[in-house]
Amino acid sequence: MRLSRYFLPVLKETPADAQIVSHRLMLRAGMIRQQAAGIYSWLPLGYKVLRRIEQIVHEEQQRAGHIPVLMPTLQSADLWRESGRYDGYGEEMLRMQDRHGRDMLFSPTAEEMFTDTFRAYVKSYKDLPLTIYQIQWKFRDEIRPRFGVMRGREFLMKDGYNFDLTKEAALHAYNRHLVSYLRTYERMGLQAIPMRAESGPIGGDDTHEFLVLAETGESGVFYDSEITELRFGERAIDYDSVEQCQAVLEEFTSRYARTDDTHEQSVFEAQVPEARRREARGIEVGQIFYFGTKYSEPLGATVSDGEGNQVPVHMGSHGIGVSRLLGALIEANHDENGIIWPEGVTPFHCGIVNLRQGDAATDAACEDLYKAITAKGLDPLYDDRDERAGAKFATMDLIGLPWRITVGPRGLKSGVVELTSRRSGESEELAPETVVDRLAEIYALG
Ligand code: ATP
Ligand code: MG
């Protein structure tokens, strides 16, 4: 993409009403625009990152054997009356009527609709296990929408639902989600800690939240510093293996504690040596639940068990805050000049800065680089505006592309351009061909 033809409405001023750094940076970098409290338009740069996050979520879900679908955002209240949640859900549910006076709602979550879909088609234990999921907009009329996309009213969520014959099988699905979530966050360059949690309106027996460590997190947590060295992407985990999925869960047990839970703290302190104990704050970027037959019983989602009985299926639901992840990523990856995207989610793979727009040799070198990088299947952002170098650098730093290539007449005379890492600030002078190869190498690994 050539910046002169792109739509990147960066702001010079720091927006006064944005309280946390990710919100400020998303507004300044022209990623989102607020349309109403907790409701945002996704501008090109923000939309690109949102799509990259979605793509990673899809890939990791499908790797775990889960099947994508898409359900409507507007739902009839009848299903929610059947499950008994319509009256109880409270003020967070946005309710409305259609022209015929029928009660409708904007889905805040979708246990009912997935259970209804299941019961319509699946009748036998032979069709289990089954996990279906979607990435779809949700609406929760949060009392205090704040921090930009972190606590919106309309937000994008991945929600998945497993259907199993037995409790054991459903707990395997739970553990499988736990592993796949850890891999998902890791691919985005995030360290997430799964913590046992309270279940809230979804209900159920078992639930874990996934926390990303960042100063502006809403939950306090103690953790074992060695937790941050656990890596899942490199392991060949067999998602069908009950033991392998269970063992992960166990790696985390007793290695963290909520700061407001004294029982958890005493277990944590007994288990983790003092030198490895850390205190931090965490942002909830996902949650998984096992809730047994809570929805399958009232909605009549039963299957034949092969022994002549009709039994309600055991279920769980599993959510990832896709749009909240943008905020969490920025909270965990920024400096005083702007965002620092991890390679896994960056909107463009690199930026090209032309230091002397209009100089024939410099323009030609930039065009060649742009074409060569694109030909490798990468997506560069070429700053071809007629602007001062300082302004171009400031924009690149603000929008946070992990690699910047600086091209100027002086370097070109000795056959080099400069490759700069946004994270370390370190630069290298390299021949243009070498830069192209280096980027191809970085992203093939990343
Ligand atoms: P919270 O405790 O932060 O209100 P929740 O526990 O009610 O969230 P879940 O039902 O577990 O949310 O939803 C799954 C995921 O969706 C959450 O882990 C979070 O990442 C994301 N999410 C929930 N509410 C919002 C919101 N208002 N804005 C953006 N993302 C949200
Ligand atoms: Mg939650």
258-268: b (≥16 Cβ within 10 Å) or e: beebeebbeeb
How many Å lie between the centroid of ligand 2 and the Cα of residue 201? 10
- Map out the domains of the chain with their CATH numbers: 3-339 (3.30.930.10), 350-442 (3.40.50.800)
Ligand 1: which residue has its CA nearest to atom 22?
A: 321
pLDDT in tens, 140-164: 999 999 999 999 999 999 999 999 9
In angstroms, what is the span from residue 12 Cα to ligand 2's centroid? Answer: 35
Nearest ligand by distance to the CA of 159:
1
Could you say which ligand is closest to the alpha carbon of residue 157? 1
What distance in angstroms lies between residue 319's CA and the mean position of ligand 2's atoms?
8
Find the 72 Cα to ligand 2 centroid distance in Å.
21
CA-286 nearest atom, ligand 1: 18
pLDDT of residue 203: 65
β-pairing, 427-430 with 403-407?
unpaired
Closest ligand, as measured to the CA of 285? 1
pLDDT digits (tens, 9 = 90+) for 270-300: 999 999 999 999 999 999 999 999 999 999 9
Query: What is the distance between the alpha carbons of residues 369 and 303, in angstroms, rounded to a whole number?
Result: 59
**Partners of 34 in beta bridges:** 40
The two beta strands, 219-224 and 277-292, are: antiparallel
Candidate from 157, 211, 212, 323 with most ligand 1 atoms within 8 A of CB, to mutate: 157
CB atoms within 10 A of CB 334: 19
Cα(71) to ligand 2 centroid in Å equals 21
Q: Pick the residue whose CA is nearest to atom 11 on ligand 1.
A: 287
Please report the atom of ligand 1 found closest to the CA of residue 285.
20
Residues by chain with Cβ below 5 Å of ion ligand 2: 287
What is the Å distance from ligand 2's center to 225 Cα?
24
The tens digit of pLDDT for each residue in 339-380 reads 999 999 999 999 999 999 999 999 999 999 999 999 999 999
Cβ atoms within 10 A of the Cβ of 286, count? Answer: 27
Residues shown for the chain: 446
Q: Which residues does 320 contact at the CB level (< 8 Å), separation at least 6?
A: 57, 157, 158, 181, 184, 285, 286
Rounded Cα gap, residues 44 and 121, in angstroms:
39
Beta-carbon count within 10 A of 410 CB: 10
- The ligand that comes nearest to the alpha carbon of residue 151 is 1
Query: What is the pTM for the complete model shown?
Result: 0.96
Rounded percentage of the chain residues whose pLDDT exceeds 70: 98
For ligand 1, atom 3, the nearest C-alpha belongs to 284
For residue 305, report the distance from its CA to the centre of ligand 2, in Å. 32
pLDDT value, residue 228? 80
209 C-alpha vs ligand 2 centroid, how far in Å? Answer: 6
Question: Residue 430 and residue 439: Cα distance in Å, rounded?
Answer: 12
For position 327, what pLDDT does the model report?
A: 98
Q: List the chain residues with pLDDT less than 50.
A: 446
Residue 202 confidence (pLDDT):
66
Atom of ligand 1 nearest to the CA of 209: 18
Ligand nearest to the CA of 210: 1
For residue 145, give the ligand 1 atom closest to its CA.
27
Whole-number pLDDT of residue 446: 44
Q: In which residue are the tokens 């992840």 written?
A: 325
Nearest-atom number in ligand 1 for the CA of 151 is: 28
Q: How far is CA 83 from the centre of its chain?
A: 29
Q: Quote the pLDDT of residue 427.
A: 98
* Pocket (CB within 6 angstroms of ligand 1): 109, 140, 142, 151-152, 155, 157, 200, 202, 284-287, 319, 321, 323-324
How much is the pLDDT for 220?
A: 92
